[in-house]
Amino acid sequence: MNRRQIDDKKFRQIGRRELLKLTPVLALGAFAIPSLQERLLKKGLGFNDWAAARLFRPGHLAPTFDNADVAPFEKFPINGYDVDDPGVDFDKWTLTVTGAVQKPGDYKLAQIQSLPRYRQNTRHICVEGWDVIGRFGGARLADFLNAIGADTSARYITVNCADDYYESLDMATALHPQTLLCYEMYEQPLTRAHGAPLRLQIPTKIGYKQAKYLTDLKVTNVLDKVGYWEDQGYSWFYGL
Amino acid sequence: MNGSVIEIIQPQGKAAEGEEAPPTVVARAVYEHPFIVRLCHWINSVALFVMVGSGLQIFRAFPSFGAKIPQKDLLHWPKAFAIGGWLGGALQWHLTFMWIYMATGVLYLGYQIFSGNYRQVLFTPRDIPGVWPMVKHYFFGGPKPPVREAYNPLQKHAYTTAIGLGVLSVLTGLVVWKPAQFSWLGWMMGGFHWARIWHFAVMWAILGFVLGHLVMVILHGWNNFMSMLTGWKKDPEY
């Protein structure tokens, strides 16, 4: 044990010096300054998204569940940012594909339904905190991207919706085997309130990334629009 | 400097004429809290404050642990005691400060393990016999057991538990944040739904610790409080 004898003045000096070493803690006070707060939190969220993208494993599947664990259809919440039914005309509906693809154009639902159909019981998690297990069916987005000759080295997929909602996805998630262009729930055609005729269903993403009433899909390296909720201040990546 | 002792002495000179008198020791001080421990303590206390405040705001968005349909609210936490103002704002705080919270946790644990300083605070089976006498003293007016080291057995138990709760808050939080990537961890907690409940329960347990901790800090006075700022505890009881 190290023992020293000093006078009170010197002792107080040592105490002051040790106290001053803690000044870096005061840097956290920057978060309390209104003009800096927004910028710092934006940086924090950006770092969080960066880390989240690194934690995403393309081959790792989200948990799937038995039919017995699936919530009854009536108990699957209907959540939209605006209207439950934007009044899509199913006869005229097409998915307009643009961007870095070999075969751009308007795709009919039947063309998407001609791709292999996958059905999965997965958990849908809302950013609010609730979750519900549902049964979803549709074509893999990866298969569709392959069919339209998409450049899968591009960074993003962006979508527009009939209710003016918009979203964007990282390519890794778009190519994930559980990421669906979903046209049925509970083995029935998607209802209008759940996003008919076509929505995204992504068990590795939070709910608001899973846009409904799709009308446009673009493969791109530049995000001119990010996402409706992201523009309000929510996380962009929000992978689960 | 860990384990260092300072003897505070009266200035020499006037004590005696001619001869050199031995200095009079008027007080003792022990270096109890190394710099890294103090740094982590204070950064973490800010981070914890933000995590709890923003976490409660996030909880306000869906104050329930049941289904969405029908929604049965558990409690309506007042907005005044929450941070972030709205769900998106609270998430920005929560997802930013969780990195600060985890960084101090990792730095603290790493330092404690590699410096060996954990020995002064880690509760071990050796401390078990000393717990009951301390409980008797604190709560039932029993005699005060002799103080032999920086932390008594009950303190060691409290701090070791608190660190354990901190680790649990991170693990349960990881599952709520990334239930697909950490699905194995979620499975151990009973799934996403349960992880959210555990995360909430762990927060209240931590708040319980903080309350007890603050009461004890007030009861133990100024020198004890200052030791977490300067590292040195003046006039320790041992």
Smallest Cβ distance to A75: which of B46, B69, B88? B69
- B contact test, residue of A23, A70, A130 with most B CBs within 10 A: A130
Contact B232 A15 (CB under 8 A): yes
What is the per-residue pLDDT for A183? Answer: 97
pLDDT at A2: 77
**Structural domain includes residue B238:** no
Residue B67 and residue A44: Cβ atoms within 8 Å? no
CA distance A135 to A184: 9
For the stretch A198-240, pLDDT in tens is 999 999 999 999 999 999 999 999 998 899 999 999 999 999 9
Is A134 within 8 Å of A71 (Cβ atoms)? yes
Structure tokens belonging to residue A199: 């929505």
Please report which residue ranges of chain B form alpha helices under DSSP H. 35-61, 87-115, 128-140, 153-177, 183-188, 192-230
Q: Which residue has the higher pLDDT, B146 or A167?
A: A167
- Does the beta-carbon distance from A131 to B89 stay under 8 Å? no
Residue-level pLDDT at B173: 97
Within a domain: B142: yes
B86: in domain? yes
- pLDDT score recorded for residue B149: 86
For residue B53, the distance in angstroms to the closest alpha carbon of chain A comes to: 14
Please tell me which residue of chain A has the smallest CA distance to B174: A240
Q: Give the tens place of pLDDT for each residue, A117-146.
A: 999 999 999 999 999 999 999 999 999 999
Res B1 pLDDT > 60: no
Residue A195's pLDDT is 92
B181 closest CB neighbour out of A1, A48, A60? A60
Has domain A61-232 been given CATH number 3.90.420.10? Answer: yes
**CB atoms near residue B117 (< 10 Å):** 19
B43 occurs within a structural domain:
yes
Contact assignment for B180 to A63 by CB distance below 8 Å: yes
With respect to residue B49, please indicate whether it lies within any of the assigned structural domains: yes
Q: What is the pLDDT of residue A198?
A: 96
User: Is B29 inside a domain boundary?
Assistant: no
pLDDT of the residue at B177: 96
Point out which residues pair with A64 in neighbouring strands. Answer: A122
Number of domains in chain B: 1
Mean pLDDT score, B68-73:
89
Domain that holds residue B143: 35-221
CATH number at residue B205: 1.20.950.20
Residue B18 has pLDDT above 80, yes or no: no
**Residue B226 domain flag:** no
**In the β-sheet with A3-7, what is the strand arrangement from edge to edge?**
A3-7, B5-9, B25-31, B232-234
Q: CA of A57 to nearest chain B CA: how many angstroms apart? A: 7
Tens of pLDDT, residues B156-171: 999 999 999 999 999 9
Mean pLDDT (whole number) for B87-108:
96
Q: Is B81 domain-assigned?
A: yes
Tell me the per-residue pLDDT of A38-69, one tens digit each, with 9 for 90 and over.
999 999 999 999 999 999 999 999 999 999 99
The pTM of the full predicted model, rounded to 2 decimals, is 0.92
